[in-house]
Amino acid sequence: MRACRKLSAVTQNRIPAVISIAGSDSGGGAGIQADLKVFAACGVHGMTAITALTAQNTVGVDAVAPIAPEMIVAQVRAVARDIGIDAVKIGMLGTVVTIEAVVAALGELAEGTPIVLDPVMVSESGAPLLEPEARDALIELLLPRVTVATPNLPEARVIAGSDDDAPELARAIHALGPRHVVVTGGHRDKATDVMFDGETTIEIPGERHPDGAAHGSGCTHSSALAAHLALGFAPVDAARAAKVIAAQAVHDGLREIGRGPGPVDALGIRSRRPLAPPASAHAR
């Protein structure tokens, strides 16, 4: 049974708690690992329900192990019943069984809790992260439940079943049930995100950073969007903030990490490094 509506974190002047229901990236660039960094960067408390483990690096995905459906529900229930959930980000799902488990887990949320769905299908390195037969379950079971869906261009084309450009795709996907759609711009000529709210198409432009590193850019964007919804931003303002944060994370991306496309950096890790080790430090 769905819990009753609870007061928002903003009304209560508390730190919002946001959960990522997503896959683990052992390379630390995308998935749950990226999401927790973004939540911290946005000033919200991050929580997780892991849907799948991936043995992954910047070059590829070596193995995927789905988490048992009852364990997915248990993770969400545990935090919902104690800490409370102010917003949800959903990332890698992988299988129909996992999608069904996540739908069941959403029953633990208070009414009106914002849900952001990043319909992850393929990794930056080109590995499939959603079984082809799970597309229909994602469309029928999850899309109608979400506040904001954030497909990239190829994902939007798979969901809409057309080769259109972002504005038409955003409208077609909106007709499938989500309240807002943001087609993200990483795979477009200009890195402009396109949002549709049911009435208006809104362009969210930004400079393209061709020399950055973009592994985890979509995860960063959807987590930042969920965090800002929990912070009380309206969806369009949350989408603008998410675009700025994702673009900066790509710009700051850690190109030197791994042999493939390096991970985004949402925390400014490079700028946090000491200029030199203390004189007393000895290399082991």
Ligand X SMILES: Cc1ncc(CO)c(N)n1
What are the residues binding ligand ATP (CB under 6 A)? 30, 124, 152, 184-187, 191, 193, 206, 208-210, 212, 214-219, 221, 243, 246-247, 250
Residue 105 beta carbon to ligand X: minimum distance, rounded to whole angstroms: 17
Distances (CA, A) of 214 to 34, 153, 247: 12, 15, 9
Residue 221 binds which entry of ligand X, ligand ATP, none, CB below 5-8 Å type-dependent: ligand ATP
For the beta sheet containing 45-56, the strands, ordered from the edge strand earlier in sequence to the opposite edge, are 61-66, 45-56, 17-25, 87-90, 115-117, 148-149, 180-183, 193-196, 201-204
* Closer to ligand ATP by Cβ: residue 16 or 260: 260
**Judged by CB under 6 A, which stretch of 20-28, 167-175, 177-185, 187-195 contacts ligand X?**
20-28
Q: Give the interface segment with ligand X, choosing from 122-130, 158-166, 187-195, 249-257 (CB under 6 A).
A: 122-130
Q: In this structure, are residues 113 and 87 in contact, taking their beta carbons and an 8 Å threshold?
A: yes
Q: Which is nearer to ligand X, 9 or 159 (CB)?
A: 159
Cβ proximity to ligand ATP: between 80 and 191 the closer is: 191
Query: 16, 31, 69, 185: which one contacts ligand X (CB under 6 A)?
Result: 31
Task: Give the SS3 label for residue 88.
Answer: strand
Tokens of 166: 């972002």
Count CB-CB contacts under 10 A for residue 282. 5
By CB under 6 A, how many residues form the interface with ligand X?
17
**What is the rounded distance in angstroms from the CA atom of residue 140 to the CA atom of residue 157?**
16
* From ligand ATP, ligand X, none, interface partner of 246 (C-beta below 5 to 8 A by class): ligand ATP
- Least Cβ distance, residue 76 to ligand ATP (angstroms): 22
The closest of 244, 248, 236, 246 to 194, measured between CA atoms, is: 236
218 binds ligand X, rule: CB under 6 A: yes
Rounded Cα distance, 233 and 231, in Å = 6
**Tokens at residue 264, please?**
């985004």
Amino acid at position 4, single letter: C
Residue 54 contacts ligand X per CB under 6 A: yes
Residue 25's binding partner, choosing from ligand X, ligand ATP, none, with beta-carbon cut-off 5 to 8 A by kind? ligand X
Determine if 116 is a binding residue for ligand X (CB under 6 A). no
CB of 193 to ligand ATP, least distance (A): 5
CB closest to ligand X, residue no: 31
Q: How far apart are CA 142 and CA 16, in angstroms?
A: 24
Give Cα separations from 264 to 37, 58, 127, 189 (angstroms).
10, 11, 18, 20
d(CA 253, CA 51): 26
DSSP, collapsed to helix, strand or coil, labels residue 145 as: helix
Residue 41 site contact among ligand X, ligand ATP, none (CB < 5 to 8 Å, cut-off depends on kind): none
Residue type, 23: G
Q: Which of 17, 18, 25, 231 binds ligand X (CB under 6 A)?
A: 25
Task: Determine if 123 is a binding residue for ligand X (CB under 6 A).
Answer: yes
In the complex, the smallest distance separating the C-beta of residue 87 from ligand X, rounded to whole angstroms, is 18
Strand partners, 128: 122
Q: Which residues bind ligand X (CB under 6 A)?
A: 22-25, 30-31, 54, 56, 91-92, 120, 123-124, 129, 216, 218-219
